[in-house]
Structures are given as C-alpha cells and as structure tokens.
Amino acid sequence: MTTQTSDLTGRRAGAAPPRRVELVHVFHPSAARALDRFPDLLGDRRVRVLPDERALAEALPEIEVLFAINPPRVPWETASRLRLVQLGSVGVDHLLPAPGLPESVEIANSGGATSGPMAEYVVGQLLFLVKRFAAAEENQRRRRWTTHAPGLLAGRRVTVLGYGPVGRRVCTLLAPFSVELSVVVRRPRPLDGVSRVYGADDLLDVLRETDDLVLTLPLTAATRGIVGAAELGALPRHGHVVNVSRGGLVDERALVAALQAGELAGAALDTVDEEPLGHDDPLWDCPGLFLGGHSSWTTPHRDEEIVRILTNNLNRLESGRPLLNLVDREHGYPVAPPPLPAGADRGGAQ
C-alpha cells in the first residue's frame, strides 16, 4: 500500500476536485442518531440512512460521502463516486484493510471527540485499582467495617503505550499526580512534557520498570497482540493493565492466567477482542478484572462533536482544504493531522 501524498495546497494527490456535497449516506444506528439529533449542523445537505450491510453494498456506486461507524466488508471497488469515508469513531480497524477501495478516497476518523473522556476514564481506573476501591465495596457489601489499605498513585511508574490524542491527554491528566511517566511509541522522538520516550523494541525492558501499563494504541497488523504473556510477565505482581483502545492488543487468555495466578494485582478492560463478550467467557469471573463495556468514549456531547467533525470535513472537502484526522492507510491512523488553534474547527472536542 502506498503512502498518501499531498500537493502544495495540502490536498491528497489524486483527490477529487472541490465540489458541493449534496447527499450524505449514513451507516450504523449511532451515526444516524447523531445526525438526527443535530440536523441543523449539516445545513441543507440531505441524508440517506442505510439500514444494513446489503443496503450499503447496493448503494456504493452512488455514494459520494459515507458517514459510518464500524463499516462492514463490502465490494469497495464499486464505489466509483466515493470521495470521503468519515468515521464516527476513532478506530479504523473495522474498515482497513479495504481491498478495492479507490486510492482517491479519503478516510477520516473522529479523533479528538473522544480523547478527553477516554483519558479521564484511564485516570479513574488507575485510581480505582491503586486505591483498591473494589475491596472497600466488598467490605460494604459484607457489612464489614475494616481498613482495606489503599495504595498511592503518586510515585508509581506509569507507561503509556501509544501517543495519539488519547495518549497525549492521558499524560496531561496524570502529570498532577506526580507519577513517573514513560511513553512507548512506534518512532521515538521528543515529546512535550514527557522525559522518558522509548521505541516498541524497548517495550519489554520498559515494562520491567513499570507499575501500571496503559494502552492507547490503534489496532493494526503491527499492534495486534502487542501485550502477550511475555509482556505481562515483565510487569510486577503489584502491577495493573488498563486498556481503552482495542481488545485485540492484549492476549486475553494470558491476562486471565496472570490474574488468576496472582502475577498481576488487577486490570481494567474497557474493550475486548470479541464484542459483545460471550456469556461463558472467563473474563467475566476473572479476579481483579474490571470490564467497562466499551463505554470510556461516550459523553453527553459525543453526538454533537462527531457531527461537527463531519461538517467541518465536508466543508474542507468542498473547498479543497486538508481534512481533519486524515487517516494514513499504511499505518491505519492519522499520522500528521493539520494543526488547529485552540477551540477551533472541532466544535470544542479535545
């Protein structure tokens, strides 16, 4: 797969010339609900909701802009008029790879609309685990008044795996807690406010000096299973794992084994590899494990924020300007989003 390139105007090479978008096709009930709640944001553009995978496949030849969450595998080679796939979520793994999707089609995600709440969720889960709130809850349930010996987050060694919008926000929110922060990224480089930056090849060594591991990576071929038995074994017995990205990043059977054996103190998974989680899956009853039901990204304002991102990108598409959160197909996530003034263009999304 070739990397996307841009001309001097910032438009991707081969992209369609600017023209008005009159009709937006929508796939997924959540995306349709968002547009239904905030119809005025789209102006006079029309909306057509595609109720199922078959309707999407049949409509592909006429679709110019697709607003979707978790689009299925469809015959993308028939999408001869498609200019933009705007995702109402951050993850791109449901779409890519997309065999047959014309190179001229731009893909954008909704990064920024969910990074704030997801980062708050991470901090909340770290406090939940370190302070041992589950033990206090159990004492209350048993009507037992006793001290449960909470830990201290300050001074703990926290490693954030991934430094996209969520990872950056996690680091910002953790700074006041006086943790020893490390970041592991694909390409090590200086990062504002982070003194310890490592490459993926250093992961095992970093984990040996880590108390709490936070995963904020996209799921790609390169990151699937990045935290397996060896990585979990490198963490100390008092260590924790918090994953708000994709379940496929973690070897769940290895995690269950580590928690059952007391080799880890606890974990919080907001997402799992196969959702919804099967009724008989061992994750349900695993000691020290909190399951979040894939809720870390939701907020009362999410629908408005993703519609604002869609609208901004429609305006940019029509005027030939570079898109927000343009996804690099080779990497599976936005590599270099255009810089924006504070509070501009994203409708307040962080």
Nearest in space to 79 (alpha carbons), one of 99, 96, 94: 99
The position carrying tokens 């009362």 is 300
Among the listed residues 240, 246, 302, 346, the single catalytic one is: 246
Rounded Cα–Cα distance for residues 187 and 335 (Å): 11
Among the listed residues 132, 196, 224, 294, the single catalytic one is: 294
103's CB contacts (< 8 A; 6+ apart) are: 2, 14
Q: What 3-state DSSP class applies to 242?
A: strand
294 belongs to the catalytic site:
yes
Rounded Cα–Cα distance for residues 313 and 84 (Å): 9
Per-residue tokens: 51? 């109720």
Rounded Cα–Cα distance for residues 67 and 244 (Å): 23
Among the listed residues 77, 137, 275, 330, the single catalytic one is: 275
Residue 112: phi and psi, rounded to 5, are 105, -35
CB atoms within 10 A of CB 263: 14
25 belongs to the catalytic site:
no
- Binning the chain into helix, strand and coil, the percentages to the nearest 5 are 30, 20, 50
State the sign of the Cα–Cα–Cα–Cα dihedral 235, 240, 241, 242: negative
Which residues are known to be catalytic?
246, 275, 294
